């Protein structure tokens, strides 16, 4: 390799770095900076009217799992915190699973349409992104609340004499999140199924596989990268969801996002909120690691 | 040899509906014997792949019956038919290794693990891919993928192996090798092969019998030699090899050509007929030797032989193929007057 060529390659590498510099700077300042502040705040004392006192304390971290009785100072496990954490993980997992169960047939349907119809269906899938999340969630609220659309219909046609209580429950949050995150599952699944060679279906049937076996042994392993991508895109924001549980879950069906917000608001316990945020981050990172490992197994078998 | 493996009875397959319906397969009846290498030969769109897909079960016939070992399988789905396919695109599973691909059919049949391993090993040996057992199929060359596809389809020991133009994606050299290889596999396994191709040379070199198809119909079925030397109609005669067509009139003792000469023929039909004679069966003799008088209009050198274009007295054109002698030419010149004779039994009367 000539010296000139080496210089050219080095220059190209520099140009690549320069081009990505704005994005890298933005990430460093806007993502890493706040995270660092969060980590530091979780080790400080809460201020009386919010904010923090610059004194080192474990109280924030202590408070994530335990509570101290105000009067006698005895230490107890903070059941409420664990309930909220568990509810968050459970609802996020349920949402991921259900969006997959509903999204897979949808993505399959779209991917097997003729090209023109496919573009139309994809366009329809993206329509919900046009409106604000808040408005969409309020719309769901309007449909399922006690005086809402569903109950009016049920009462109107006489299927029920008393309205169904659906709002302000885990179920309501689950319905809302499934609706909100469904497109995020469908789109990566569609991309994976679109690349799937449909001729492999005939090869599977020809080799004595039933429809179910073809799905399990041929289709699902091959589209796994799409399943993993869709699951990440749904699970991660679902776990930290704030607007949906706030509007559909009410005060008693909080998810961890709402609980964190509470600490920075009425709770006036910023260190606890910061510690909870770090815990959420760790859960998400652990989930991502598991997913990415699964994805690698999937892609390595593509060679 | 005489037991029937596959039979199609009056199979019709129409695509589309009503007036726009296209009959891809138009009342085809065929019997394929056990242990036979049977080739369906025809141009693209002739219905040969449709017939193959009917036997595999990927399509159901609009009417008619498909039988396997005498049993009606018309309504059985592909996964219930003891028939396997080698696809034109190979359709290997990209997420599985070579060995896993070969094991797939056996696993779907819930064969014991030990039996699967043993059979996969034997299949790998059969197609000479032992060294690549753990490779992903995407890391293989076209020829190797072809062998995996063959091994995968042969592993469950199907009663019939269907091959849908499996060699068309390979380059010429590899194609020649695989032709020999396929024939060897068929003899070694004793499985009935139904092979689809548009390549007449492939069909002639490998098959026990050939079914020539055109426009959704079976034109002729027979051994390669019969198909080549005794074509039934104009389509078969022209699709396989090169040939001369001549118009004539049936007279006592043969057929009188347009130029007035009468020739001995095989087969008889009354009235106006079409004759076919292969170019290599046309002999060129010195003028006045007693044959059909003709004039050499052009000579084309082809290496092993020379194509001599000849005009008869009524203007009809005949091509003769003359083998080139070692180091010399055929000793003919353009414009020369000659005499033609057809080899005994070479002139065949066609059905249409």
Q: Do A207 and B104 touch (CB under 8 A)?
A: yes
User: What number is the average pLDDT over the span B22-51?
Assistant: 93
**pLDDT for res B269:** 84
**pLDDT for res A58:** 87
B79 to chain A, any CB pair closer than 8 A? The answer is yes
How close, in Å, is residue A112 to chain B by CA atoms? 18
Q: Do A301 and B84 touch (CB under 8 A)?
A: no
The C-alpha atoms of residue A130 and residue A144 are separated, in whole angstroms, by 22
Chain-centroid distance of CA B4 in Å reads 20
**pLDDT for res A301:** 43
Of B57, B93, B105, the CB nearest to A200: B93
Q: Do A207 and B136 touch (CB under 8 A)?
A: no
Q: Do A203 and B105 touch (CB under 8 A)?
A: no
Contacts of B92 in chain A (CB under 8 A): 203
User: What number is the average pLDDT over the span B78-105?
Assistant: 95
User: What number is the average pLDDT over the span B135-156?
Assistant: 92
How close, in Å, is residue A289 to chain B by CA atoms? 22
The model's pTM is 0.82
Beta bridge partners of residue A46, listed in sequence order: A52
Confidence grade of residue A27 (pLDDT, cut at 50, 70, 90): confident
How close, in Å, is residue B105 to chain A by CA atoms? 4
How close, in Å, is residue B93 to chain A by CA atoms? 7
Of B57, B94, B156, the CB nearest to A222: B94
Confidence grade of residue A297 (pLDDT, cut at 50, 70, 90): low
Give pLDDT tens digits for A272-281. 999 999 999 9
**pLDDT for res A40:** 93
DSSP chain A: --HHHHHHHHHHHHHHHHHHHHHHHHHIIIIIHHHHHHHHHTTEEEPBTBSEEEEE-SHHHHHHHEEE-TTT--EEE-HHHHHHHHHHHHHHHHHHHHHHHHHHHHHHHHHTS-HHHHHHHHHHHHGGGGS-HHHHHHHHHHHHSTTSHHHHHHHHTTS-SS----SSSHHHHHHHHHHHHHHHHHHHHHHHHHHS-THHHHHHHHTT--HHHHIIIIIHHHTHHHHHHHHHHHHHHHHT--HHIIIIITTTS--HHHHHHHHHTTT--HHHHHHHHHHHHHHHHHHHHHHHHHHHHHHHTT-
User: What number is the average pLDDT over the span B186-206?
Assistant: 93
User: What number is the average pLDDT over the span A127-152?
Assistant: 88
ipTM score for this prediction: 0.84
Give pLDDT tens digits for A281-292. 998 999 888 877
Give pLDDT tens digits for B294-335. 999 999 988 888 999 999 988 889 999 998 888 777 788 888
Q: Do B138 and A303 touch (CB under 8 A)?
A: yes
Residue B145 has pLDDT above 50, yes or no: yes
Confidence grade of residue A298 (pLDDT, cut at 50, 70, 90): low
A217 to chain B, any CB pair closer than 8 A? The answer is yes
**pLDDT for res A303:** 35
Count of A-B CB contacts under 8 Å: 73
Of A199, A207, A302, the CB nearest to B95: A302
Q: Do B78 and A210 touch (CB under 8 A)?
A: no
Domains of chain B and any CATH numbers: 4-234 (3.40.50.300), 244-349 (2.40.50.140)
> CATH code for A42-300?
1.10.3720.10
How close, in Å, is residue A104 to chain B by CA atoms? 19
A93 to chain B, any CB pair closer than 8 A? The answer is no
Per the CB < 8 A criterion, the answer to whether B25 and B10 are in contact is: no
Of B58, B109, B152, the CB nearest to A202: B58
Percent of chain B with pLDDT over 70: 99
Confidence grade of residue A300 (pLDDT, cut at 50, 70, 90): very low
Q: Which residue of B has its CA nearest to A224?
A: B95
Confidence grade of residue B2 (pLDDT, cut at 50, 70, 90): low
Q: Do B85 and A213 touch (CB under 8 A)?
A: no
């Amino acid at each position: 390799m000539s010296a000139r060529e080496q210089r050219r390659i080095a220059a190209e590498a520099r140009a690549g770095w320069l081009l990505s510099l704005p994005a890298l700077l933005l990430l460093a300042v806007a993502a890493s900076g706040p995270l660092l502040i969060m980590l530091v705040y979780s080790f400080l004392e809460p201020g009386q009217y919010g904010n923090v006192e610059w004194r080192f304390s474990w109280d924030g971290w202590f408070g994530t799992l335990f509570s101290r009785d105000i009067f006698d100072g005895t230490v107890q496990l903070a059941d409420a915190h664990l309930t909220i954490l568990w509810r968050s993980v459970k609802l996020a997992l349920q949402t991921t699973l259900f969006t997959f169960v509903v999204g897979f047939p949808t993505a399959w349907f779209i991917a097997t349409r003729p090209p023109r119809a496919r573009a139309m269906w994809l366009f329809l899938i993206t329509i919900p992104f046009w409106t604000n999340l808040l408005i969409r969630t309020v719309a769901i609220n309007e449909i399922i609340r006690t005086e809402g659309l569903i109950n009016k219909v049920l009462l109107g046609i006489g299927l029920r004499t008393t309205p169904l209580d659906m709002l302000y429950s885990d179920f309501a949050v689950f319905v809302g999140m499934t609706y909100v995150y469904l497109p995020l599952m469908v789109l990566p699944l569609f991309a994976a199924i679109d690349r799937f060679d449909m001729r492999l279906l005939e090869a599977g049937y020809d080799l004595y596989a039933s429809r179910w076996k073809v799905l399990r042994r041929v289709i699902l392993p091959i589209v796994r990268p799409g399943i993993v991508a869709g699951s990440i895109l749904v699970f991660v924001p679902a776990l930290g969801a704030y607007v949906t549980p706030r509007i559909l879950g009410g005060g008693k069906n909080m998810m961890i996002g709402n609980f964190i917000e509470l600490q920075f608001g009425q709770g006036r316990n910023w260190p606890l909120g910061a510690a909870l945020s770090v815990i959420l981050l760790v859960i998400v990172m652990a989930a991502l690691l598991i997913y990415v490992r699964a994805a690698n197994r999937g892609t390595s078998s593509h060679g | 040899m005489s037991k029937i493996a596959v039979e199609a009875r009056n199979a019709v397959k129409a695509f589309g509906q009503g007036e726009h319906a296209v009959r891809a397969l138009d009342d085809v009846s065929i019997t394929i014997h056990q242990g036979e290498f049977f080739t369906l030969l025809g141009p693209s769109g002739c219905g040969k792949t449709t017939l193959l897909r009917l036997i595999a079960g990927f399509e159901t016939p609009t009417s008619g019956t498909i039988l396997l070992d005498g049993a009606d399988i018309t309504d059985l789905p592909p996964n219930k038919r003891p028939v396997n396919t080698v696809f034109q695109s190979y359709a290997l599973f990209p997420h599985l290794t070579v060995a896993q691909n070969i094991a797939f059919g056996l696993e779907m049949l819930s064969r014991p693990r030990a039996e699967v391993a043993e059979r996969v090993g034997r299949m790998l040996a059969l197609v000479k891919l032992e060294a690549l057992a753990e490779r992903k199929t995407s890391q293989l060359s076209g020829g190797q993928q072809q062998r995996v596809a063959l091994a995968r389809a042969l592993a469950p020991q199907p009663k019939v192996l269907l091959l849908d133009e499996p060699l068309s994606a390979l380059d010429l050299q590899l194609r020649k090798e695989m032709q020999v290889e396929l024939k060897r596999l068929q003899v070694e396994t004793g499985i009935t092969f139904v092979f689809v191709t548009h390549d007449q040379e492939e069909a002639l070199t490998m098959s026990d019998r050939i079914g020539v198809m055109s426009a959704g119909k079976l034109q002729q079925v027979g051994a390669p030699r019969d198909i080549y030397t005794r074509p039934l109609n104009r389509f078969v005669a022209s699709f396989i090899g090169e040939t001369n067509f001549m118009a004539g009139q049936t007279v006592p003792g043969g057929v009188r050509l347009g130029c007035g000469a009468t020739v001995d023929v095989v087969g008889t039909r009354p009235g106006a007929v079409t004759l076919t004679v292969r170019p290599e069966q046309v002999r060129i003799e010195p003028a006045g030797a007693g044959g059909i008088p003709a004039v050499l209009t052009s000579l084309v050198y082809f290496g092993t032989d020379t194509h001599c274009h000849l005009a008869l007295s009524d203007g009809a054109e005949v091509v003769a193929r003359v083998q080139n002698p070692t180091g010399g030419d055929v000793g003919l010149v353009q414009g020369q007057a000659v005499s033609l004779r057809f080899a005994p039994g070479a002139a065949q009367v066609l059905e249409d």
